[in-house]
Each structure stands twice: as C-alpha cells, then as structure tokens.
Amino acid sequence: METQSFSISLPKNPSITVNLIPGHFTTNNAHTNNYLDVSVLKSNTAVARDVAREIAIPYLSTTLVDTIVCMEKMEVIGAYLAQELVQEGTSVINTGNIIHVISPLSNAYGNLVFPDSVTGRISGKNVLLLIATISSGRTLNGAMECIAYYGGKLAGISALYLASNVSVGAEIHPLFTSEDMPGYKLFPTSECQMCKSGQKLDAIISSEGYTRIE
C-alpha cells in the first residue's frame, strides 16, 4: 500500500503535507479507499508548529479562548496553538492570557468524559475544539456534546481535514477539505463499493494510525 502513496501539500504553506495511501480501510463506522495519513502533522514538532500557526489565523484577533480541547492525539499541535493565540500583538485578543490544553477520556460505555480535576477548565469557559479528521461527524458530535455537558462555550472548531458532506450547524475551520483529496471516498459500511466488488480489507484505522489485517 505504502508504495502507492502520494503527498498533497497545503497551497499556502507547502511545508504542510499529508499522505494518501490507497487501499481498503475500515474505521469503527465507515470504509474508505484511502488512508489519510496526518501523523507527521501531529507528531513532528517543526511541522506541528507550522500547522498551529495556520490554525490560529481565524482566531487571533476575534476569538477569546480559555481552553483548547484536543481530540485524536492533537495535543502537540494544541500546545503550539495556545502559544500562537497568546503571543504579543496589538491585534491579538488573547495576548497575555493563560490557555489550558486538555483532552477528554472515554469511559467504560464509550462516552467522552473529563476528570473532575479539569472540569473547571471547561465550565463557563471559551473552548476551542481541535480535531484531526472530520469524515463522518461522529467524533465531532461526541466532542461537542461532551463540551456542552460540562458547561463549556464552544468558541471554534478546527480540523486538519474536513469532508465536504459534514454539517454540524457550526463553522469549522479546516486546513484540507475533500476538494484537496482527489479520489478520496468514504462509504457507510453497508454501502461500501469495495466490499460489494469483493475487495478484501487491508487495514483498520484508528486515531493512532492503521493496523494491517493479515
């Protein structure tokens, strides 16, 4: 699979690239014909800093942020994003503020929860939600419900990738969209065209990456 991968760069910042790896992949609720590899964006500190600068742009002069909630292993980018939002500048609204970067946990029932020790950083606070990929909206909706349950005020949503068919009634700021990903398709499991044609699954996708099916 990896030998057929290809890279797509962000037009306004070519140092930010994602890889598409063709194959037949499954998530916990969908199948896709490409694995969208954003791992370098999340783990390479130099690239993560560039990503954070791009993500910060819509919020710098307009949006108060107290807390950044990170989903899908976005904590490195979240930390750099907090630094960008509190930088010195006459037009930077959060200059000098303290921004907390936290992530929810998943309980035994699969629901997102925050430990009691950090709920004070959500309740009544301006919360920026940071998520890696929004393909079906399921993870996003769960995160939004969790923030609302703990009394947070959603200040913004940013993602590395947003599928064009996802609509949650709130503005989302993505780096990449479906239009940037030629041939990338996502199917409900019961409607997967690859399954119907008899193509075997290659790997299982999670927020950690993918695991081959032998």
- Residue 7 belongs to domain with CATH number: 3.40.50.2020
The residue to which tokens 């959603």 are assigned: 154
The CA-atom distances, in angstroms, between 6 and each of 85, 142, 162, 181, 204 are 32, 31, 19, 10, 20
Tokens of 148: 């609302």
Number of domains within the chain: 1
pTM summary value: 0.92
Task: Give 67's strand partners.
Answer: 100, 127
pLDDT tens, residue order, the chain (214 aa): 676 888 999 988 999 999 999 999 998 888 999 999 999 999 999 999 999 999 999 999 999 999 999 999 999 999 999 999 999 988 999 999 999 999 999 998 889 999 999 999 999 999 999 999 998 888 999 999 999 999 999 999 999 999 887 878 789 999 999 899 888 888 888 999 999 999 999 999 988 889 999 7
Helix (H) or strand (E) holding 196: helix 193-196
Phi-psi region of 127 (alpha: psi -120 to 50; beta: other; left: phi over 0): beta
| Domain range enclosing 49 | 2-212
